[in-house]
Each structure stands twice: as structure tokens, then as C-alpha cells.
């Protein structure tokens, strides 16, 4: 979410706080956006309803700008950011598992780890203490797939799809030259095959980033690496075309000896 959009959300949540019960906690996608996480493909419009969690009760607030969840939260599942009560990152991961599919949950999980908002041990402890509930199985399935080295949502999605296809890549894979010096890191890579996979958003076609990429890929090529570049269209149709390209490239690349 853009900085101005984040500021708008904080302002809106602060206004809502004044009319909500004292135990209200901002949760789900609203908490994710307050943490600055990439809630991939979820509506993040400034006027989207805010998600709040309340202790179960007979009567709950009904307002057009709210989505109310009734859940019992312990004190250690709540923290304050922007002077607002929100669910902790570990609890947020568990709650989002109720509404997000596998890839989108992994995107949030990777971002939580990458930004140092939570550790794998804390996520594991949260899931271990959770009672039987919707989304718990998915949360447990996705947890071992998370990797804090992921730099963007598309990198997470491509990594999961390649892994599901039996071709697990290494995130931020180091590229070494003939002297064993690191000349860069790939978004995703295969060390033995010296195969790099680079996801390029629109920013890669602009100004200094474009020039930087040319030099970077030249260093990779000089080190004997083949670079496969991909973009937004390669996320469509389950990335079948991209997976086929990676599989074919790996079949022709001999491991480094």
C-alpha cells in the first residue's frame, strides 16, 4: 500500500476506534495493511471495510465500514502500532489462513519473515496452541514453505509453483565468479546448474534500474550462468510456460564440478 494510502487507513482506523468497544482489535487484511504487508490481490482501497475482532458477545456493532469477527484473543495476541490495537503478526498469519488461498498466505508469511516482524518459531508456537478451526490445516501446510529471503510477492508465487512442480529453487541464490567471489544474487536460482531466474516488474524497464540490470546480467553471464527472465504474464495459467522453460533449461545444464 502506498504511503498516502497507509496514512489514510491509519486515520480511518483511528476514527473507528472512537466508536468501537474497548476490546476491539484491528485484524485480518486491515492489520496486514497497517503492518505494511503486501496483501496480494486483496482489495486495499481506502474505502474498503475495516476488519476488527471483538470478544464474542450477543450484540455486535453493525456499520457499513466494518467487518466484525468474533474471536477470543489473549493479551499476547494483541499489540499496538500507530496507536491502534492490532493482532500480533503470528496471530495475523493464523487468521488470514481462514480467508486466503495457499499462495497468498505464503506471500504474507514470507513478508512477515523478511521484514523481521515475526520468527518461524513464533508462528509455529501460535499454530501449536491453536484449537481446531478453519484454516489451521492450511496454515500448518504453508509454514514450512515460507522463506524470509523472498523480496516480492511474485518471487514467492513463482518459488511455490516451481517447488510444487518438483523444481525447488533457492531464493537470493549467490552467483560466484571464477575466483569464488560473489558478483550478485538471483531472485531464484539453481547453484549446480548455474541457472538464474529473475522476476522483472515494470520498474525494471525504467532508467537506472534498466542499466543496472544490464550490467548485472552481464556479470552473471561472465560467471557462466544462464538467466531466465520472467514477468507478470508468466504468473498466469499456473506459470506452466515458465515451469516448462526452467525444466528444459535444467535438463541441458550440467552441474558445476
Asked if residue 134 lies in contact with residue 173, where contact means CB atoms within 8 angstroms, the answer is: no
Name all domains of the chain by residue range, CATH numbers in brackets: 3-145 (no CATH), 153-252 (3.40.960.10)
What is the pLDDT at residue 2? Answer: 46
C-alpha cell at 180: 569464488
Give this prediction's pTM.
0.88
Asked if residue 113 lies in contact with residue 120, where contact means CB atoms within 8 angstroms, the answer is: yes
What is the pLDDT at residue 1? Answer: 47
What is the pLDDT at residue 42? Answer: 53
Cα distance between residue 88 and residue 174, in whole Å: 33
Nearest to 78 by CA among 125, 31, 37, 143: 31
C-alpha cell at 157: 508465487
List the Cα angle 38/53/7 in 5-degree steps. 45
Nearest to 117 by CA among 34, 46, 10: 34
Crossing angle between the packed helical segments 89-96 and 102-114, to the nearest 10 degrees? 170
Cα–Cα distance list, 76 to 23, 122, 232 (Å): 14, 11, 39
pLDDT, block means (10 residues), the chain with 257 residues: 68 94 95 85 64 93 90 96 97 95 95 97 96 93 97 95 97 93 95 94 59 84 94 92 96 72
Question: How many beta carbons lie within 10 A of that of residue 109, not counting itself?
Answer: 29
Amino acid at each position: 500500500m502506498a504511503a498516502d494510502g497507509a496514512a489514510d487507513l491509519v486515520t480511518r482506523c483511528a476514527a473507528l476506534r472512537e466508536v468501537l468497544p474497548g476490546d476491539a482489535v484491528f485484524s485480518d487484511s486491515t492489520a496486514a495493511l497497517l503492518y505494511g504487508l503486501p496483501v496480494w490481490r486483496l482489495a486495499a482501497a481506502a474505502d474498503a471495510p475495516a476488519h476488527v475482532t471483538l470478544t464474542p458477545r450477543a450484540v455486535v456493532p453493525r456499520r457499513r465500514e466494518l467487518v466484525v469477527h468474533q474471536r477470543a484473543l489473549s493479551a499476547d495476541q494483541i499489540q499496538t502500532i500507530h496507536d491502534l490495537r492490532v493482532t500480533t503478526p503470528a496471530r495475523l498469519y493464523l487468521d488470514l489462513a481462514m480467508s486466503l488461498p495457499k499462495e497468498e498466505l505464503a506471500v504474507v508469511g514470507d513478508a512477515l519473515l523478511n521484514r523481521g516482524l515475526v520468527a518461524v518459531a513464533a508462528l509455529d508456537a501460535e499454530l501449536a496452541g491453536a484449537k481446531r478451526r478453519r484454516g489451521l490445516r492450511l496454515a500448518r501446510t504453508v509454514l514450512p514453505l515460507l522463506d524470509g529471503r523472498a523480496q516480492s510477492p511474485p518471487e514467492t508465487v513463482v518459488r511455490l509453483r516451481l517447488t510444487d512442480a518438483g523444481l525447488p529453487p533457492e531464493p537470493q541464490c549467490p552467483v560466484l565468479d571464477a575466483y569464488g567471489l560473489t558478483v550478485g544474487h538471483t531472485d531464484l536460482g539453481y547453484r549446480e546448474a548455474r541457472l538464474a531466474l529473475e522476476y522483472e516488474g515494470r520498474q525494471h524497464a525504467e532508467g537506472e534500474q534498466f542499466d543496472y540490470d544490464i550490467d548485472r546480467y552481464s556479470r552473471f553471464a561472465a560467471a557462466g550462468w544462464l538467466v531466465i527472465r520472467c514477468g507478470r504474464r508468466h504468473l498466469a495459467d499456473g506459470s506452466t510456460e515458465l515451469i516448462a522453460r526452467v525444466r528444459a533449461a535444467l535438463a541441458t545444464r550440467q552441474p558445476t564440478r
